[in-house]
Structure 1
Amino acid sequence: MSHEYVQQCIEECLKCIHACNHCYDACLNEENVGMMKECIRLDRDCADICALAAMMMSRGSSHSKSICRLCAEICEACGNECRKHAHQHCQQCAEACFTCAEACRAMAG
């Protein structure tokens, strides 16, 4: 895997972390927070796995591919949940999640 390709995947993970953290915070401020529980949980899971994936790739870990495979799975789950909600922050998060999932799948081979 070329350095540029790895760097692109790391950048997508960082963008996803930002989008998930923003969505998480915005969901906590929604009128019906109870309806947003699964979205909030997945936002946290997704941000955490993206952070781990970015760290593993940045240090060239031999486990990067496995972590990226899992990251893609969690990003897709988060994106699917966010898509269910009409809030702009959820829709933006879904897009970031799906883009990151695609980059991580390519990275995982």
Structure 2
Amino acid sequence: MNQPSTSATQNQQVLDALARCIAACEMCATACLHEHDIRMMVPCIRLDRDCADICRLTHAFIARSSDHAQHVLKECIEICQKCADECGKHEHEHCQQCAEACRACVEACKAYQK
């Protein structure tokens, strides 16, 4: 598969967005474990973990210019959007910050695809 034509700046922007999303998701999942009603937070925690994992994989594939980066990028966009939607439902500061990082990651990944 052909690599997208990207500049070093675009490459760094997507890598930075992925790294911020990983950190936000990890922090959100940890903070969710300390919430009063943890059962209500289970879907959020699961998506946080899935999102952090797919962002780590996507980051690695893009960083090494893998021929398969575009495949994982599509999944990354989908999972980040689902995580943003779930975290956005909760009023906790950590969830709102995570939703924002996920949305920014979606936008950076979409821009990288073009």
Q: Partner residue of 1:32?
A: 37
Higher helix fraction (1 or 2)? 1
Runs of 4+ in 1 over 3 A off after TM superposition: none
- Structure 1 gaps of 5+ residues are none
Tell me the residue number matched to 2:3. Answer: none
How many residues matched?
A: 109
* Distance (whole Å) between structure 1 residues aligned to residue 66 and residue 60 of structure 2: 9
Matched, 1:2 2:7: yes
Max Rg structure: 2
Using the size of structure 1 for normalisation, the TM-score is 0.97
| Structure 1 match to 2:47 | 42
* Aligned residue in 1 for 2:86: 81
Deviation at 1:105, TM superposition (A): 1.4
Q: Deviations over 1:14-37 (max 9, x none)?
A: 000000000000000000000000
**Cα distance in structure 2, aligned partners of 1:57 and 1:98:** 19
Distance 1:86 1:54 in 2: 29
Question: What TM-score do the two structures reach when normalised by structure 2?
Answer: 0.93
